[in-house]
Chains A and B, each alone.
Chain A
Amino acid sequence: QVQLVESGGGLVKPGGSLRLSCAASGFTFSDYYMSWIRQAPGKGLEWVSYISSSGSTIYYADSVKGRFTISRDNAKNSLYLQMNSLRAEDTAVYYCARDGIQLDYWGQGTLVTVSS
């Protein structure tokens, strides 16, 4: 069965960095586009970033452009999100999801808290 497991969240000070990981299993990871979506406490879903199956096409939301970097390692069936220059408004649960235009499988999420 398809499984996506995020890790790497935690408490970080403003201006700090964090790297999120998403371990995929149960499907051919290298065949699928993947996305990161976040949800601030009590708020709605916000699409963050997207990467094609080969990694050659990448998009970012304007709110994270220049600060976040998405990447993947198809040999390790893993998706990553490097987050730099973190701000309080980046505090959220971060989900990875399999992206076939529709997001058909989601991980359980990992909480990132940016606070001094």
Chain B
Amino acid sequence: QSALTQPASVSGSPGQSITISCTGTSSDVGGYNYVSWYQQHPGKAPKLMIYDVSNRPSGVSNRFSGSKSGNTASLTISGLQAEDEADYYCSSYTSSSTPSVFGGGTKLTVL
């Protein structure tokens, strides 16, 4: 059982926007602005897409944005493209016995 809860799957059509949620507790998501999002295509290593809740690393499309409200963080992808089809994982710093935790992952399907 993952420490952070994500929907197993989401889908959208090209050009649409989708949002993936990531729910934790006040000991992780709600307590710190250290939420990250990772994109993983099949057979590839994960890629950092968002860090510190809403910051994009250099080279990541501005179609990707992050936000947080209370104990839930969200990743929004606007103007969906076929290449966005992948698994997405959230992660947060945590005050528990380990420094960080992942969500269970969300499979994004572009219809």
A residues at B contact (CB < 8 Å): 35, 37, 44-47, 50, 59-62, 95, 101-109
A107/B98 contact (C-beta < 8 A), A44-B104, A45-B38 known: no
Q: Is the interface of B mostly helix, strand, loop or mixed?
A: strand
Q: Mark B30-45, 1 if CB is under 8 A from A, else 0.
A: 0000101010100001
Taking a contact as CB atoms under 8 Å apart, the answer to whether B99 and A103 are in contact is: no
The residue on B at minimum CB distance from A57 is: B99
Given A45-B89, A106-B46, A109-B45, CB of A50 within 8 Å of CB of B99: yes
Smallest distance from the beta carbon of A38 to chain B beta carbons, Å?
11
A45: which of B34, B98, B102 is its contact (CB, 8 Å)?
Answer: B102
> What is the total of A-B residue contacts with beta carbons within 8 Å?
62
Give B100 Cβ to nearest chain A Cβ, in Å: 6
User: Does B18 interact with chain A (Cβ within 8 Å)?
Assistant: no
Which B residues are in CB contact (< 8 Å) with A44? 2, 87, 89, 102-105
Digitize B88-111: 1 where CB-to-A-CB distance is under 8 Å, 0 elsewhere. 010101000111111111000000
Task: Check B52 for interface membership: any CB of A closer than 8 A.
Answer: yes
**Pair B89/A59 contact, Cβ less than 8 Å:** no
| Distance between Cα atoms of A102 and B90 in the complex (Å) | 10
Greatest chain B CB density within 10 A among A47, A62, A107, A108 is at A47
Least Cβ–Cβ distance between A58 and chain B, in angstroms: 10
User: B29 → chain A, closest Cβ, in Å?
Assistant: 13
